[in-house]
Amino acid sequence: MSYIRKPAFQHPNLPKNEIGLTRRDYEGAMSTLCAGCGHDSVSAAIIEACYALGVEPHRLAKLSGIGCSSKTPTYFLSKSHGFNSVHGRMPSIATGASMANTGLKYIGVSGDGDSASIGLGQFAHAIRRQVNMLYIIENNGTYGLTKGQFSATNDRASVGRKGQKNQFDPIDICSLAIQLGASFVARGFSGDKAQLVPLIESGMAHEGFALIDVVSPCVTFNNHLGSTKSFDFVREHNNAVMATDFVPAREQIHAEYDKGEAVDVQLHDDCTIRLRKLDDDYDPTDRASALKYLADHHDRGEVVTGLLHVDTGIENLRDKAQLVDQPLNELVERDLVPSQALLDEVNQRRRW
Amino acid sequence: MSYIRKPAFQHPNLPKNEIGLTRRDYEGAMSTLCAGCGHDSVSAAIIEACYALGVEPHRLAKLSGIGCSSKTPTYFLSKSHGFNSVHGRMPSIATGASMANTGLKYIGVSGDGDSASIGLGQFAHAIRRQVNMLYIIENNGTYGLTKGQFSATNDRASVGRKGQKNQFDPIDICSLAIQLGASFVARGFSGDKAQLVPLIESGMAHEGFALIDVVSPCVTFNNHLGSTKSFDFVREHNNAVMATDFVPAREQIHAEYDKGEAVDVQLHDDCTIRLRKLDDDYDPTDRASALKYLADHHDRGEVVTGLLHVDTGIENLRDKAQLVDQPLNELVERDLVPSQALLDEVNQRRRW
Amino acid sequence: MAALNAINEFVIRFANVNGSGSASANVMFAKIVYRMGVPVAPKNIFPSNIQGLPTWFEARVSAKGHLGRREGVDLMVAMNPQTFAEDLADVVPGGYLLYDSTFEQRISRTDVNVIGVPLTRLCLEAFEDPRQRQLFKNVAYVGALAAFLDIDFEAVKEVVSLQFRGKEKLVGPNIQALELGRDYALRHYDCPLGLRVEKCDAVGDKIMIDGNSAAALGCVFGGATVAAWYPITPSTSVAEAFERYCERMRVDEKTGEHKYAIIQAEDELAAIGMAIGANWNGARGFTATSGPGISLMTEFLGLAYFAEIPLVLFNVQRGGPSTGMPTRTQQSDITACAYASHGDTKQMLLFPSEPNECFNMSADAFDYADRLQTPIIVMSDLDLGMNDWVCDPFEWDQERRFDRGKVLDAEALDKIEKFGRYRDVDGDGICYRTYPGTHPEKGAFFTRGTSRDNYAVYTEDGDVHAENLRRLNRKFDTGAKILPGPEFGQESQRSTIGIIYFGTTATAMPEALEQLEDQDIIVDTMRIRAFPFALEVAEFVRAHETVYIIEQNRDAQMRMLLMNECDLAPDKMKKILNYDGMPVTARFIAENIAAAVKPGARQGGVAAE
Amino acid sequence: MAALNAINEFVIRFANVNGSGSASANVMFAKIVYRMGVPVAPKNIFPSNIQGLPTWFEARVSAKGHLGRREGVDLMVAMNPQTFAEDLADVVPGGYLLYDSTFEQRISRTDVNVIGVPLTRLCLEAFEDPRQRQLFKNVAYVGALAAFLDIDFEAVKEVVSLQFRGKEKLVGPNIQALELGRDYALRHYDCPLGLRVEKCDAVGDKIMIDGNSAAALGCVFGGATVAAWYPITPSTSVAEAFERYCERMRVDEKTGEHKYAIIQAEDELAAIGMAIGANWNGARGFTATSGPGISLMTEFLGLAYFAEIPLVLFNVQRGGPSTGMPTRTQQSDITACAYASHGDTKQMLLFPSEPNECFNMSADAFDYADRLQTPIIVMSDLDLGMNDWVCDPFEWDQERRFDRGKVLDAEALDKIEKFGRYRDVDGDGICYRTYPGTHPEKGAFFTRGTSRDNYAVYTEDGDVHAENLRRLNRKFDTGAKILPGPEFGQESQRSTIGIIYFGTTATAMPEALEQLEDQDIIVDTMRIRAFPFALEVAEFVRAHETVYIIEQNRDAQMRMLLMNECDLAPDKMKKILNYDGMPVTARFIAENIAAAVKPGARQGGVAAE
Ligand SMILES: Cc1ncc(C[n+]2csc(CCOP(=O)(O)OP(=O)(O)O)c2C)c(N)n1
Ligand SMILES: Cc1ncc(C[n+]2csc(CCOP(=O)(O)OP(=O)(O)O)c2C)c(N)n1
Ligand code: SF4
Ligand code: SF4
Ligand SMILES: [Mg+2]
Ligand SMILES: [Mg+2]
C-alpha cells in the first residue's frame, strides 16, 4: 500500500454506469494489505462487478469476520454500511441482517481460516439455510493476519515457507459447499479478473446462498515455491471448466449467441448467466458428478475454476421465512403491535 | 426404564469371553431413557461388541456431549472412565485425551443435535485430523432431551409430531464425513443389532477415525407417521448395501469363505472386516461413487446402511503426531525435563 | 393423632413419574383452585430426562397470597412407589398422604393421615384402552381431591371443558375419571378433610401464566421481528411461545405472510450473532438462552457492547455451574452477565420478578436497548420462566410508540454536515446511529469490534481508545437513569435494617416480612430492578446500618455488583444465600435474618454466611 | 540550543514502516546495548497488519535499571515519512532526531538536534540487489548510531555474528552496511552526541528473552506434553516457542519420536477442549490465548472448574474490549478470567511480572493445577509476552519432582474400600482422582458437568449440590494457601500509604518509588502474584490508611476482586488506572499518587479516578 491519499476530485469525463455513478463511487478506503496481496485484486473485482451491475452502494451491506481478507470490505464501496464482526461468525450476522431487511444486497467476505476453521459450523449452516447473500472466501491456504500458520484448506502437498510439512488433508471449500447443498458454487482466482468479475456479478444476482471460493495468494506467507496457493502454482494448474458471462436484464435483448456453445441459466430478476463449458466432461447441474470431477482433478494437482454448480430452483431463506414484502426493519407499531382485542383474548385465555 | 435394580449376583455359568469376563461385566448403570428409545439398543450393541472383542473395560474411555444420546455412556461399561462433557464439544475432548494416552480405546457417543448443529465444526475437524476413535452418532432427527425440535439431520420430507413442516434439507452425516475424508464410515439402525454389532467391532478395530451414524428413533418425539427417522420408516426403507462380518485375529485361521462372495479388509491388529456386497452397484472404496450412491438413494427415500466407506491406508493422528510408544501420561521427569546442559544452552543463547 | 385444619392455606405436592401423563392432571388441579378464586402457586420439580424418573408438582394454595415456596407438605399425593418413603417423610406432622392403594405400601409414620384410593384398580375397571387406564389414574386423583378438599365439582367441570377446548370428545372420559375418584372418596371417607378449598375472590381478574410466555408476548408488543434461538432448558419456551403468538398475531391475514422471522440457530453463538445482525440492520431482534448459552455468547456480547449494537437477550437462569442442575432454579449468572466478555465490558440487566413484569420489562427492553445502543439482558429464572404464576392481567397503551433512540434518517442526515457514528453530541455517552441503506451519500459507517475514532474509522491511537472507553462509562451512567429504579416496600425509612432482593425472591418476601414482624423485627425493603443501579440503590444502603442481601446463588453476586459499582462498605452488607436449586422460602429468609438480628434465634436450611 | 547529555540513561525510538525489515535491525541495536552491559528494555509498538503501516520500536536504556516505559523520546530515528511530523513532535526538547536525509523533510522545531544521514542514497550506492538496498538502510542507521552513541564497534560486530549464526554469508554485507552508517556519521558529525552508551556491568549474567518464550520453556520443564492452541496475537508465540523447544529437547534421539503433541486447533473452544481432554486423561496439557479466545473458552472453563479438571491456560492479555486493540497491552481480562463462566464459578490466576517469573510460574502452574484440580490461568500481557526483557537466567532444580496432587494409582485403589471421586477425605476441599485405565475394577468414575454426588453419580438433590458448591469454596480457600503470596517492598510497615500492583506494572515501580521519595512520599508496596489472595493481601490493605491500586484497565478489576473476596472497605482503596494500551509509566504512577497524597501536585496522562 502507499500512504498517499487519492485526490477526492473526480474527472468529469469518467465513464458512468446505468445509475450514473463512476467506478470511483464504488471504491473504498485505501488498502492496508501487503503490496501485491491477492485480496486487493478481489476487492477490485468486487468494485468492478458492482459498477457494472449498477448496484446502489448504499443498498448493499458488506460483512466480514476477522483476518486480512475480512479487512477488505473497508477497501471497497465506502458508501455501503460495513460490519467487521468477530472471527468466524460473519455468517450468523449476515443471516440476521438479511432477515431484518430483504431490501438490501449482502456481500460477505471471509478467509479460509475464518470460514474453514473457527467458522466452519456457521458457514455450513448458512449454506443449509440458503441465506440470501454472496459469500466470498479469499482463500490463501494460510492464516495471513496471524503470520502464516497452515490453514485447513492448505493442500497436503503444500509445504510451508520454511519447508514445514503439512500433515492434514485439505477441506475443499467448494466440494464441501456442494455436498451441503449450496445452490451457487464457483471458484475464482484473484489473478484472473476476467473470470472473477462475471462470477461476482452472477453470484450477486443469484437469489440464495452464492459461494465464490477465490484462490487469493498471500504474497507474504504463502507464495513460495512448494505452496499450492501461490500465484505461479495456480496460474500453471488452473483448470477453468466453465466460462461465465453475466448478462444483465437490460442487455438481454441484444444478446446473440450460438445455442450449441452456451447454456443460459436464468436468474430471478431477469438476468442470465451464460455458461460456456471449457471441459465437456463437466456437468455443473449434477452435484455428485461435480464432486467427483473436483476430487479427481484435485488429486491431479489441478485447481478447477469457474462456476462449478448452480441450482436456481431452490427455496432461499427469505422464501422459507415467508416474509412480508416490506422489510421487517420498516414495520411500525401499526404492523407489529397486536390489537387490544387480541391482548384481551390472551388475558381471557389465561383465566382458564 | 424401570427402577428396580438388577441383582449384583452373577450366575456362575454365564458365558465368558476371551479375557474371562461375562456380558454383565460390560453393562452400565440402569438407563433413564424412555422405554423403547433407540439409544438403549445402541448401548446394548456396544456392550455386545465389547464383550465379543474381549475389550478390557478399564482400558476404554467413553466420551460424550450433551443430549439423551450423550447420556448413554453411563448405561454401558461401568468399569470404564466416562466423560459427559458439554454440548457439541466431545470431539475436542477426545482429541486431547487420545493424545494423552495412546494405550486406551476411545468411544465417543453423540447425537445429531450434538454433532450436526453445535458440534459440526469440531466433528469435521476431528475427521480431518483422523483422531483415533470410534465415533457413534445416535441419529434420531430431533433434539430429544430438549423435547423434540427439528435437528439438522431431519429429512426435508419429514414432518413433526404436530404436522409441522421441516423447511431445510438435511445434513447427511455419512456423506459429509466421506466428503471430509473420514476413513471408516458406516450407517446402522438401532433396530438391526445383527448389522450394528459387527460394525461397532470393526469401527473399534479401525485405526483412525471410525464413524457410525446409527439411525436411532426417538420414540417420544420422532417416531410418528410422517417421520423418516421412525422405526417403521427405517425398517421399510432400509437398503443395506453391505453385510459386514468382523473376524477377530484369533479366528482368522478358522475362517472359511468363498472368494467370490466376500472382500476382506485387513485392519491393523490382524483383525479383518469381511464385506459382502448386497448391492453390486456399491463401491465402498471410492469416495465419489459412494457419495453419488448415497445421494441418489436418499432422493429415493431409502436409508442406505452398512459399511459405506473404508480406507485403511490413511495416516491417523497418532501417526501424524509421531508419538513415542509409551503413553504421554506415563512419561516422568526423566523423560520430560531437559538436562541442565540444555537449560544452560538456552540461557547462553539468550545472552546473544 | 391431630389432623391439620386449614382453609385455602396449604401446600399440596404430587409425586409422579415423568412422562406418565400426570402433568396435565396436576395443572388441572391448580387451575381448579385458581378458578375458585384462590391464589395458587404451582411449581414443577422435574428431572433432566424425558420419561421414567421421579417428578414432583407442588402447589402452594394461599388466599392470603403467600405464594412463595414453603417447606413441608400438608397433603402429599404419592403416586410414585420409587419415592414413596421419601415423599412420606416430607409430610408435616398431622398432614395427609393420599396414595394408590391398589398396591400395598409400607407406611412407617403414625403422625400422618393416610388415605388410600385404589386408583389403578378403579381405572382398570372403568376403562378399556391401556393408555387411558394409565392416564386417567391421574385425573381420578384430582376427582378424589375434589371430594377431600371440598372443591365445587362445577368448577372442576368448567376447567375440564376449558382445558379440552377444541378436543371436546376428551371431556366425557375425563369427567368420568374425575367422578371415579370423587365417588370413591365420598363413599369411603369422611369428606372433606381438615384441608379445604373454599370459593373466594382473592384472585380478582388476575391471570395465570408462566414467565416465558409473558416475556414472549412482551416481545410481540415490543415490536421484535427477528428471533434467533437454540433450544435449552429452561429458556426454550420463550422462543416457542413467541412463535405461537406470532402465528396468531403477526401473520398477514390476506397473504399469509409473516411479519416476523424466527430462526432456530445451530448453536448459541449463531443465535446471538443473528440477533446482533438483525439489530444492526434496524430490526428489533432478540435471543433467549440459559447458563451454558450465556457462556457461549460471551464473545459476541463483548462485540455488541463495544460496537454499541442494541440487543435483547433473555437469560432464564438455571442451576449452575457448568451443566449443573438444568431443571432447577438459581440467580447465579449475575456476574457472568454483568461483566460478560473480556476487556473492560459492562452489560445492562433487568430483573423481572413475576410474569406481568416479564411482559412489561421485555417490551421495555427493546426501547432500552435501542435508546442505550447496547445489549439488555433480562434475567429471569427457571422458577419464573417455566411455572405458572397468578399475576395481574397484561395491559398495553395502544398509543405507545416504540422508542428507537437516536437514529438518523435520510432527512436528518441531509441536515448535518458530517456524520460521526461515535461522536458524543449530547454528552450522555449515547451517539447517533443510522440503519444500513438510509442515504445514498451520508450515514454509512463501518461497524467493528476494534478500536475506532468518532467516525468509526479504525485507530490504534491510545488516547482515542481511552476516551472512547470513558464515553462508554458515561453511557453506562446514563443507563442508570433510564433503566427502572428500585422498588421500595415503604414510603420512608422506618428501620435501621434494610433488605435487598430481586427477581423471584420477591414472591417470598411478604410472608417473610410477616414472620419477621411477628418477632418484632421491622425492616425496610428494596427490590432491585435493573443494573446499572439507580442512585437510590446506594442511598438505601448508606441510609441503613445493616443491609441483608438475599440472593439465590453461592457467591453473593449482586452484593459484589453493589460493592463494586457503588463503592459500598462490605461490613454492613450481609449475605443471605440460597443455592440448592429450589426457590428460596419465606422461612429461610426470616429465620436467617432473625438469627442475625437477634443472635440466638433459630437459623435454618442452607446457611447464611 | 541545549543538547541532552546522558550516559546509559535515555529513550530511543525507531519509527519505521512494518514489513520493511526494520525489526531485526532494531533488535540488533537493543542487543548491542545489552552486550555492552547496559540494561535495555525494547518495546515493539506495531500495527495490526502485516506490511506498510507505521510501526515503532522503542528502547529504554538505563544502567540504573529503570526499565519501565518512559514518556518522551530522547533520540528519534525517524525512518517513516508518513509519521515524520508526529515523530518529531515526540522528541523531548534538547533531544535528537536522526532521519534519512536522502529525502527532504520539513522540520518545524528548533529545540531538537536534527541529524541527517542519507541512508537510502548510501545503500543505493553500496548495494546492487534491490532487496538489500531496502533492508540495509535499517542496518546502516544502527551503524550510524554506533558512532553517535559512542558504541564499541567490536560489540556491534559480535552481535552481528551471533545474530547470523548459521547464515555466515550474511555477516559480511551486514557489517558493510553498519560501517556505511558509522563512517558517514563520523565523517559528517561530531561524534559522539550528548547521549552515549558506555560499557558497564549492570547486566551481569542476565539474559534477554520475551515472556512467551519463557512461559513456553516453563511448560517444557513443568512436564507439559499436550499443547492445543489457536493462533491469536499476542499469545501465538507461546505455542510456537513450545514447539521450537520441544523439537530441540523432547524428540527421542534414536527414533525421532516425540515426547509431546502439539495440535493447532480449529478454534479456541476446541483448543481448550483438547487441553481438558489431555489433563483428564492424566497428561499435563495447556493452551494459550488472548481476550477473544478467553471469551470463547468460557463454557469449557466452567466445566473444568466444576468437574475439577486440572488445566493450564495462558492468557496473554491485549487491549479490549472485543477485538479492541489487538497489538496493544492491557490487564483487562481479570474479571473475565476470575469469574469465567456462568453459575457460581471462580478461577485461579497467576500474575507473572517478567520473563523469569513467566518461566517459573508456568512450570509451577502445572503443579498447582494438578494439586488443586482446577484451571490455573497465567495472566501475562502483550508487553511481557512479545517484548524482550532483561531478566535473571533460568534456574531449575534437577531434583525437583512433578507434584501431581492427589492421584490414586492401582495399588492405592486396592487398599481402599470404595473410591469416591468427590469425597473430601482430607477436609481441604480437594478430593482424590484417578486416571482412566488405572485399575480393572476400581477407580473408574464418570466425569460430568452436571451435579453429582461424592461418587460422581448424577444427582438432582439440592442439598448434595449445595454441599458440593461449599466444598469447592473450601478448595478455593486451600488455593489461597498453595498459590504464591504477595511480595512486599519492605520488611515491615513504614507508611500509612500502601501501593498494590501486579504483573508488568512491576517494571515501572522502582522508578515510580524513587520519584515519590524525591517528593518525600514514602509508601509501602505489595505485588499480588495470585488469585485467590493469600491472607497477607487483605492484612496489607487493613494495615494502611490509604491504598492505591495500580491497574492497566478501566474498570479497576483487581480492586473489585480485592473488595469482593476480602470484604475490604472501598473508601480507602484508590484507583490508579491506565488503559490507553501502552505500558504504564513510572511518571504516571508517581504523579497520580503524589496528586492524591498532596493535593495540588500535578496529575498527568490518563486520569486516575
Ligand atoms: C476468536 C479469535 N481467535 C483468533 C483470532 C486471531 N486471528 C485473527 S485473523 C486470524 C486468521 C485469519 O485467517 P484467514 O481467515 O485465512 O484470513 P487471512 O488473513 O489469511 O486473509 C486469526 C486466527 C481472533 N481475532 N479471534
Ligand atoms: C450449550 C448448550 N446449549 C444447549 C443445551 C441444551 N441441550 C441439551 S441436549 C440438546 C440437544 C440434544 O440433541 P441430540 O444431540 O440430537 O441428542 P438426543 O437428545 O436427540 O439424543 C440441547 C440443545 C445445552 N445443554 N448446552
Ligand atoms: S499477510 Fe498475506 S493475506 Fe495478509 S495482507 Fe499480506 S499478503 Fe495479504
Ligand atoms: S426423548 Fe427420545 S431420544 Fe430421548 S430418551 Fe426419550 S425416546 Fe430416547
Ligand atoms: Mg487465509
Ligand atoms: Mg437427536
pLDDT (tens digit, 9 = 90+) per residue, D132-169?
999 999 999 999 999 999 999 999 999 999 888 889 89
Comparing CA positions, the residue from B182, C566, B348 lying closest to residue D560 is C566
Mutation to test the D interface, candidates C86, C344, C585, most D Cβ within 10 Å: C344
Model pLDDT for residues D556-586, shown as the tens digit of each residue: 999 999 999 999 999 999 999 999 999 999 9
The pLDDT of residue A283 is: 86
Dist. CA D248 → ligand 1 center (Å):
28
Mean local confidence (pLDDT), C42-53: 93
Looking at per-residue confidence, does D109 or A6 come out higher? Answer: D109
**Residue A53 pLDDT > 70, yes or no?**
yes
Model pLDDT for residues D182-239, shown as the tens digit of each residue: 999 999 999 999 999 999 999 999 999 999 999 999 999 999 999 999 999 999 999 9
Residues of C in contact with D560 (CB under 8 A): 560, 563-564
Model pLDDT for residues A335-348, shown as the tens digit of each residue: 999 999 999 999 99
The pLDDT of residue C71 is: 95
Judged by DSSP in three states, D599 sits in strand
Q: Can you tell me the distance from the alpha carbon of A129 to that of A131, in angstroms, rounded to the nearest whole number? A: 5
Q: Can you tell me the distance from the alpha carbon of A276 to that of C156, in angstroms, rounded to the nearest whole number? A: 75
Q: Which residues pair with C551 in a beta bridge?
A: C577
* Partner-chain contact C282 A101, CB within 8 Å: yes
**Residue A5 pLDDT > 60, yes or no?**
no
CA distance C22 to chain A (A): 19
The pLDDT of residue B352 is: 74
Q: Can you tell me the distance from the alpha carbon of D425 to that of D416, in angstroms, rounded to the nearest whole number? A: 12
**Residue A225 pLDDT > 90, yes or no?**
yes
Mean local confidence (pLDDT), B134-144: 98
Q: Can you tell me the distance from the alpha carbon of C352 to that of C381, in angstroms, rounded to the nearest whole number? A: 9
Residue of chain C whose Cα is closest to the Cα of B142: C231
For chain B, count helices (H), then strands (E): 12, 13
Q: Can you tell me the distance from the alpha carbon of A292 to that of C379, in angstroms, rounded to the nearest whole number? A: 52
* Partner-chain contact D402 B333, CB within 8 Å: yes
**Residue A313 pLDDT > 80, yes or no?**
yes
Mean residue pLDDT of chain C comes to: 96
Take atom 6 of ligand 3 and give the residue whose Cα is closest.
A34
Q: Return the ligand number nearest the Cα of D299.
A: 2
Residues of C in contact with B146 (CB under 8 A): 231-233, 236
Comparing CA positions, the residue from C546, C552, C551, C550 lying closest to residue C568 is C546
Model pLDDT for residues B248-288, shown as the tens digit of each residue: 877 765 555 555 567 888 887 778 888 888 888 888 888 98
Dist. CA C28 → ligand 2 center (Å):
30
Mutation to test the C interface, candidates B1, B123, B142, B218, most C Cβ within 10 Å: B1
Q: Return the ligand number nearest the Cα of A219.
A: 3
Query: Are C6-196 and C209-391 equal in CATH topology?
Result: no
Mean local confidence (pLDDT), C85-95: 97
User: Is residue D231 lining ligand 1, measured as CB closer than 6 Å?
Assistant: yes
Atom from ligand 2 closest to the CA of residue B87: 26
With b meaning 16 or more CB within 10 Å and e meaning fewer, what string describes B218-238? bbbbbbbeebbbbbebbeeeb
**Residue D398 pLDDT > 70, yes or no?**
yes
How many residues are present in chain D? 609
The pLDDT of residue A276 is: 85
Class for the domain spanning B23-326: alpha beta
Query: Domain spanning C6-196 has what CATH number?
Result: 3.40.920.10
Comparing CA positions, the residue from A142, A244, A113 lying closest to residue A188 is A244
Dist. CA C309 → ligand 1 center (Å):
23
Mean local confidence (pLDDT), C239-261: 97
* Partner-chain contact C570 D571, CB within 8 Å: no
Model pLDDT for residues A263-288, shown as the tens digit of each residue: 888 887 778 888 888 888 888 888 98
Comparing CA positions, the residue from C351, C346, C380 lying closest to residue C485 is C351
How many residues are present in chain B? 352
Binding-site residues, ligand 4, Cβ < 6 A: B 33-34, 37, 39, 68, 140, 144-145, 218-221; C 50-51
Q: Where does the pLDDT of residue B157 fall: very low under 50, low under 70, confident under 90, or very high at 90 and above?
A: confident
Q: Where are the domains of chain D?
A: 6-196, 209-391, 410-482, 487-608
Mean local confidence (pLDDT), C527-553: 98
Mean local confidence (pLDDT), D298-308: 98
Judged by DSSP in three states, A318 sits in helix
Judged by DSSP in three states, D30 sits in helix
Summarize chain D as % helix, strand, coil (round to 5): 40, 20, 40
Q: How many contacts, defined by CB atoms under 8 Å, are there between B and D?
A: 224
The pLDDT of residue C332 is: 98
Residues of D in contact with A118 (CB under 8 A): 230, 266-268
Q: Can you tell me the distance from the alpha carbon of B30 to that of C381, in angstroms, rounded to the nearest whole number? A: 31
Task: State what percent of residues in chain C have pLDDT above 70.
Answer: 98
Mean local confidence (pLDDT), C131-160: 95
Q: Can you tell me the distance from the alpha carbon of A266 to that of C263, in angstroms, rounded to the nearest whole number? A: 29
The pLDDT of residue D604 is: 43
Of D321, D342, D571, the CB nearest to C292: D342
Chains that touch C (3 or more CB pairs under 8 A): A, B, D
C-alpha cell at D403: 507434584
Atom from ligand 4 closest to the CA of residue B138: 3
**Residue D1 pLDDT > 70, yes or no?**
no
Of C325, C465, C555, the CB nearest to D581: C465
Q: Can you tell me the distance from the alpha carbon of C569 to that of C396, in angstroms, rounded to the nearest whole number? A: 41
CATH entry, C487-608, from 2.40.50.140, 3.40.50.720, 3.40.50.920, 1.20.810.10: 3.40.50.920
Comparing CA positions, the residue from D302, D413, D430 lying closest to residue D370 is D430
Residue of chain C whose Cα is closest to the Cα of D564: C560
DSSP state of A219: T
Q: Contact C386/C234 with Cβ under 8 angstroms?
A: yes
Take atom 2 of ligand 4 and give the residue whose Cα is closest.
B218
Mean local confidence (pLDDT), D410-436: 97
Chain D interface, Cβ < 8 Å to A: 19, 47-53, 82, 230-233, 236, 264, 266-268, 292, 322-323
Of D35, D274, D444, the CB nearest to B96: D274
- Burial of residue C165, with CB atoms counted within 10 A of its CB: 0-12 exposed, 13-18 middle, 19 or more buried: exposed
ipTM > 0.90 for the complex: yes
Q: Contact A250/A275 with Cβ under 8 angstroms?
A: no
Comparing CA positions, the residue from C346, C376, C330, C377 lying closest to residue C561 is C346
Residue of chain A whose Cα is closest to the Cα of B175: A179
Q: Return the ligand number nearest the Cα of B111.
A: 2
The pLDDT of residue A6 is: 52
Kindly report which listed range (A97-106, A239-248, C553-562) carries the lowest average pLDDT score: A239-248
Q: Contact C223/C367 with Cβ under 8 angstroms?
A: no
Element spanning D220, H or E: helix D211-221
The pLDDT of residue B29 is: 96
User: Is residue B216 lining ligand 2, measured as CB closer than 6 Å?
Assistant: no
Question: The whole model's pTM is what?
Answer: 0.97
Q: Can you tell me the distance from the alpha carbon of C225 to that of C476, in angstroms, rounded to the nearest whole number? A: 26
The pLDDT of residue A51 is: 97
Cα distances (angstroms) measured from residue C86 to each of C1, C82, C91, D467: 21, 9, 9, 20
User: Is residue B136 lining ligand 2, measured as CB closer than 6 Å?
Assistant: no
Model pLDDT for residues D456-472, shown as the tens digit of each residue: 999 999 999 999 999 99
Window B:68-127, CB contacts with A under 8 Å: 117-121, 124-125
With b meaning 16 or more CB within 10 Å and e meaning fewer, what string describes C3-41? ebeebbbbbbbbbbbbbbbbbebbbbbbbbbbbbbbbbb
Residues of A in contact with B120 (CB under 8 A): 120-121, 124-125
Q: Can you tell me the distance from the alpha carbon of D582 to that of D599, in angstroms, rounded to the nearest whole number? A: 26
Quick one: fold of C209-391?
Rossmann fold (3.40.50)
With b meaning 16 or more CB within 10 Å and e meaning fewer, what string describes D515-551? bbeeeebebbbbbbbbbbbbeebeebbeebebbbbbb
Atom from ligand 2 closest to the CA of residue C295: 1
Residues of C in contact with A91 (CB under 8 A): 270, 273
Chain C interface, Cβ < 8 Å to B: 19, 47-53, 82, 230-233, 236, 264, 266-268, 292, 322-323
Looking at per-residue confidence, does A280 or D1 come out higher? Answer: A280
Q: Can you tell me the distance from the alpha carbon of C549 to that of C334, in angstroms, rounded to the nearest whole number? A: 14
User: Is residue C48 lining ligand 2, measured as CB closer than 6 Å?
Assistant: no
The pLDDT of residue A4 is: 44
User: Is residue C291 lining ligand 2, measured as CB closer than 6 Å?
Assistant: no
**Residue A146 pLDDT > 90, yes or no?**
yes
User: Is residue B119 lining ligand 2, measured as CB closer than 6 Å?
Assistant: no
Mean residue pLDDT of chain B comes to: 92
* Partner-chain contact D266 A120, CB within 8 Å: yes
Mean residue pLDDT of chain D comes to: 96
Residues of D in contact with B59 (CB under 8 A): 437
User: Is residue B113 lining ligand 2, measured as CB closer than 6 Å?
Assistant: yes
